[in-house]
Amino acid sequence: MNGISLVNVSKSYNGITALSNLNLQIASGEFVVIVGPSGSGKTTLLRCIAGLEDIDQGELFIGGIYSNDIKVGKRPVQIIFQSLALWPHMKVMEANKFSNLTLGLKVRNWAVDQIQSRISKVSKRVGLEDSLHSRFPQQLSGGQQQRVAIARALTTDPGIYLMDEPMSNLDPITRVNMRQEIKRIHKEVSATTLYVTHNINDAFAMADRIVMMDEGTVIQTGTREELKSNPLNEWVVDFLNSA
């Protein structure tokens, strides 16, 4: 079970509210896209789920387990940042050394043959050619870097993936292709995925359900068809029509 539940969650920074009494339920296996303007609290929400930020008030449950006090790195989640956060001084893959794809496994004391087997399977799943393993991130295209970031998240098989605007730097054609790849991988690994974006077209293309956020709280949730046929207010209409 990889569901997520947030109950009356609030978070502030120096007196400025980022999340305000937010309630949200994510079912196990769902692909949920969170949309909203800049400053609406989308990234803060992901960081609170990942454990990168402490929740000021409210409760977080992951897989039915109260998780407010579970430290970052101990939660069954992996986050893919907008910057992708690849290690520039490490190659994509070196089984005997620390590299972008092996770091998470080596700190867990996996044997070299186990690492090679795991990385081989993950690389094939995301379409990352073996010929790219010896390169550094700066020697890769934007789409290739994206595949490395996804592969790295898949190596430890956490079950929950948090994606924060990971396609913002891709060209339009690559972006469309990566939408399809991300959704395919999500289904193949039976993951629960929260994907944050301000691009409503990404939500239309990938989401099982769309969560619309503004000013630190959830405004409305639903499928594309539900939101379009029964928008809560003019703000929802305007945001949907921005596609």
Residue at 89: amino acid letter: H
Q: Is the pLDDT of residue 114 over 80?
A: yes
Per the CB < 8 A criterion, the answer to whether 19 and 10 are in contact is yes
Q: What is the dihedral of CA 75, 77, 82, 85, to 10 degrees?
A: 70
Q: What SS3 state is found at 161?
A: strand
Top pLDDT among 7 and 80 is at: 7
Model confidence at 7, in pLDDT bands (50, 70, 90)?
very high
Residues 21-46, mean pLDDT to the nearest whole number: 95
Model confidence at 157, in pLDDT bands (50, 70, 90)?
confident
Per the CB < 8 A criterion, the answer to whether 242 and 212 are in contact is no
Please tell me the distance from the alpha carbon of residue 227 to that of residue 37, in angstroms, as a whole number.
17
Please tell me the distance from the alpha carbon of residue 63 to that of residue 60, in angstroms, as a whole number.
10
What is the pLDDT of the chain when averaged over all its residues?
A: 91
Residues, the chain? 243
- What does the domain layout of the chain look like in residue ranges? 86-157
Per the CB < 8 A criterion, the answer to whether 218 and 22 are in contact is yes
> What pLDDT does residue 243 have?
65
Q: Is the pLDDT of residue 122 over 90?
A: no
> What pLDDT does residue 173 have?
83
The model's pLDDT over 160-172, given as tens digits with 9 standing for 90+, comes to 999 998 887 777 8
Q: What SS3 state is found at 113?
A: helix
Q: Is the pLDDT of residue 84 over 80?
A: no
